[in-house]
Structure 1
Amino acid sequence: MGEPVVTDEDGTRWITLDRPEILNALSVGDLAVITEAVAGIGPEISAIVLTGTGDRAFSAGMHVNTFADATPDSGRAIISSVRDCVGAIRLAPVPTVAMINGYCLGAAFEMALACDLRVAHPEVRFGLPEVKLGIPSVVDAALLHHYVGLSKAKEIILTADLYSVADLATYGLANRIVPPAQLREAVLDLLAPITACTREVIAAQKELFETWLNNGLQHGIDTSVDVFADLFNTPATLAAIAQYQMSRSRR
């Protein structure tokens, strides 16, 4: 047990955080492994799933020892590693799913927020404890208010409390909530209709999500028109349309 385990199975890359004895807490080295595993996918990979070993934690976030004797320069290096890792997850051209099997805290919560989808069981606890360490929640904690609204996001960040799946259920933070034994099945079921689409269209749609998130309404609409038109240059789109027409004609 140590650095994250990366395995490929039936077109899905599984990244498993593998330090269960310390709640799968993360090191800077672990972040580098995850970043490379996400950014280095080839055309044979159509989805990425992040999870943790054991039944106690997805991950407790960065190991507290990471910040021992930190200086402004080393602190910047640490948080830049978090930014790069979480950014790679958010910008991956394939669907990303956090299979959350226990505590999901700090940087790990940011990873889960950066994923496209989240599957959790009822006993999962979420939290951003950074302010208790005298540091702010940053990086993709900035996404939290898009999921739960600004008021709730401020509460979660400023109190540094733990929140159950039930506490956040009304906000739709978890796309599926299932018993622990059904997590993997639920992830695969959720991915099935997505990975059945062309890789090109999923990548384009994900790029549009980023455009919509980071730009004004009209720019997002205009960019969407361009992306829509450009995809008619791709053989995958033309083949998908032809296949859909054929399936409709058989009905």
Structure 2
Amino acid sequence: MGKPVVTDEDGTRWITLDRPEILNALSVGDLAVITEAVTGIGPDISAIVLTGTGDRAFSAGMHVNTFADATPDSGRAIISSVRDCVGAIRLAPVPTVAMINGYCLGAAFEMALACDLRVAHPEVRFGLPEVKLGIPSVVDAALLHHYVGLSKAKEIILTAGLYSVTDLATYGLANRIVPPAQLREAVLDLLAPITACTSEVIAAQKELFETWLNHGLQHGIDTSVDVFADLFNTPATLTAIAQYQMTRSRR
């Protein structure tokens, strides 16, 4: 138990946060391992799943000792590492899933928000406790209001409270809520139709989501037209269309 464990299985890269004795709390070194595991995928990897060891926590976020003696310079370095890690997850060209098996706090909550999809069990608790330490929630906490609305996002961040996955169910934060024993099965079921698509179209669609988040409506629409047209240069797209036509003709 220690640094995140990275394993590849049937085209899926599993990244498991592995300090269950401290609720899988993270160090700066762990962030580098995760970043490398996400950015270092090859063409044989079609999906990434993040989870935590044990049944108590996905992760409690950055270990509080990380900030104990921080200065403005070291604080910037720490949060820059968080930004780079969480950003790598958000910008990965393959689908990313957070398999959330317990407490999901701080930077780990931001990782879950940065993932494309989230699968959790009913006892999961989310929270952004940073303000209790006198530091703000930053980086991909900026995504929270897209999921739960600005009012609820402000409540979650400013109160630093814990919220159950069922508390947030009406906002659709989790794509699936299943019993703990069914988490892995639910993740694989959710990924199956996505990974059946071409890697090119999934990467392009994810880039468009990022464009839609960061730019105005018309820019997003115009960019979509260019991305759509460019994919017809991709042999995989032409093959997928032909296969789809063949399937339809058999019905």
TM-score bracket for this pair, using the shorter chain length: over 0.9
- Alpha-carbon RMSD across the aligned residues, in angstroms, is 0.3
Q: Note the alpha carbon deviations across 1:186-237, whole angstroms, 9 max, x for none.
A: 0000000000000000000000000000000000000000000000000000
3-state SS of 1:48 partner: strand
**Alpha-carbon separation, structure 1, partners of 2:2 and 2:30:** 9
Shift of 1:41: 0.4
1:105 aligns to what? 105
Percentage of pairs with the same residue: 96
Shift of 1:249: 0.7
Shift of 1:32: 0.2
Normalised to the residue count of structure 1, the TM-score between the two structures is 1.00
Q: Note the alpha carbon deviations across 1:74-132, whole angstroms, 9 max, x for none.
A: 00000000000000000000000000000000000000000000000000000000000
Matches within 5 A, 1:1-251: 1-251=1-251
Shift of 1:57: 0.1
Shift of 1:36: 0.2
Q: How many corresponding residue pairs?
A: 251
Shift of 1:157: 0.1
Shift of 1:59: 0.1
**Alpha-carbon separation, structure 1, partners of 2:100 and 2:90:** 17
Shift of 1:243: 0.2
**Alpha-carbon separation, structure 2, partners of 1:69 and 1:24:** 21
After the TM superposition, list the runs of 4 or more consecutive aligned residues in structure 1 that deviate by more than 2 angstroms.
none
3-state SS of 2:188 partner: helix
**Alpha-carbon separation, structure 2, partners of 1:250 and 1:170:** 40
Q: Note the alpha carbon deviations across 1:20-57, whole angstroms, 9 max, x for none.
A: 00000000000000000000100000000000000000
Uncovered stretches (5+) of structure 2, i.e. residues with no partner: none
3-state SS of 2:168 partner: helix
Shift of 1:5: 0.1
**Alpha-carbon separation, structure 2, partners of 1:181 and 1:119:** 12
Q: Note the alpha carbon deviations across 1:116-156, whole angstroms, 9 max, x for none.
A: 00000000000000000000000000000000000000000
**Alpha-carbon separation, structure 2, partners of 1:215 and 1:40:** 28
Shift of 1:68: 1.1
**Alpha-carbon separation, structure 2, partners of 1:216 and 1:65:** 40
**Alpha-carbon separation, structure 2, partners of 1:195 and 1:62:** 31
